[in-house]
Amino acid sequence: MTTDMRHAIVDVLETADAVAMRMAELFIRTVKEKAEGKARIALSGGSTPKKLFTILARPDMAGQVDWSRVELFYGDERYVAEGHADSNHASARELLLSRVSIPAGQVHPMPTATTAAEDAARYQGTLQKSYGATELEPGRPLFDLVMLGLGTDGHTASLFPGEPVLDEKTAWVGVAAPSTAPHERLTLTYPAIASSALVVFLVTGENKVPMLARLRQGDGSIPSGRIVSEGKILILADRAAAGELS
Ligand code: 6PG
């Protein structure tokens, strides 16, 4: 079964806080329902997930997660020094990872220490080691949950318009050098994201109205519109992004 964006489930919630809370509940459920082994989860970047991280770090929420059964990865990373203010990992570490009992060896930041191409290959090796194979096997998803954001130019992860990585069919991790956003980046590719049991887009704010409308139509002319999943795709949006503010 492959789900494309035209068949995504859309849940419009009142506020950005409600979106973050619903995502936190889904995160908790994903780990609880993981039958055996660790739940492999890819975190999204940017500012939207910050509310989620803050909610998940709350003792009443973090206490519902068996962190020993969680393995965290990233959907993308800005190619900046470790700890840089624009680093997605630095943000997740500050708001969530430093506040919960996930074993350090189960958090996999994207490396940014050599060259983007070398570090992309290195991260692919990390994913393959966790997955236990070098080829993605249909029916055995790499990720139990992939969280994605939506850019105002229609990008997701760091799959930006016009980037060669959009055409990547085999590598699991690629490089992007967008003209519409700062920094070179590492990103999961379409095949890696497709190897998932559940993809959840988090989309909030009025500035996302045009692209959310195109995403919901499965508009393949924007990178996010081309996302598919072996499992399900859910869009969690607030009313502002859905254009439903009176
Ligand atoms: C990144 C993200 C990117 C982000 C969107 C939305 O590293 O920038 O992964 O895909 O999700 O640009 O960003 P906001 O959440 O800040 O609107």
**Which H/E stretch holds residue 201?**
strand 198-203
Residue-wise DSSP of 30-57: HHHH--SSPEEEEE--SSTHHHHHHHHT
Q: Return the best residue to mutate from 19, 43, 44, 222 for the ligand 1 pocket (most ligand atoms within 8 A of CB).
A: 44
Report the nearest atom of ligand 1 relative to the CA of 77: 7
**Measured between alpha carbons, how far is 212 from 219 in angstroms, rounded to an integer?**
10
Q: Where are the beta strands (DSSP E) in the chain?
A: 3-4, 9-13, 39-43, 70-74, 76-78, 145-148, 173-176, 185-188, 198-203, 228-229, 232-238
Report the nearest atom of ligand 1 relative to the CA of 44: 9
Residue 238, strand partner residues: 13
pLDDT tens, the chain, 246 aa long: 799 999 999 999 999 999 999 999 999 999 999 999 999 999 999 999 999 999 999 999 999 999 999 999 999 999 999 999 999 999 999 999 999 999 999 999 999 999 999 999 999 999 999 999 999 999 999 999 999 999 999 999 999 999 999 999 999 999 999 999 999 999 999 999 999 999 999 999 999 999 999 999 999 999 999 999 999 999 999 999 999 987
* Domain coordinates in residue numbering, the chain: 10-222+236-245
Tokens of 161: 């318009």
Take atom 11 of ligand 1 and give the residue whose Cα is closest: 149
97 phi and psi angles, rounded to 5 deg: -65, -30
Indicate whether residue 154 lines ligand 1 (CB < 6 A).
no
- CATH number, domain 10-222+236-245, options 3.40.50.1360, 1.10.10.60, 3.40.50.1100, 3.10.290.20: 3.40.50.1360
The residue type at 208: K
Indicate whether residue 124 lines ligand 1 (CB < 6 A).
no
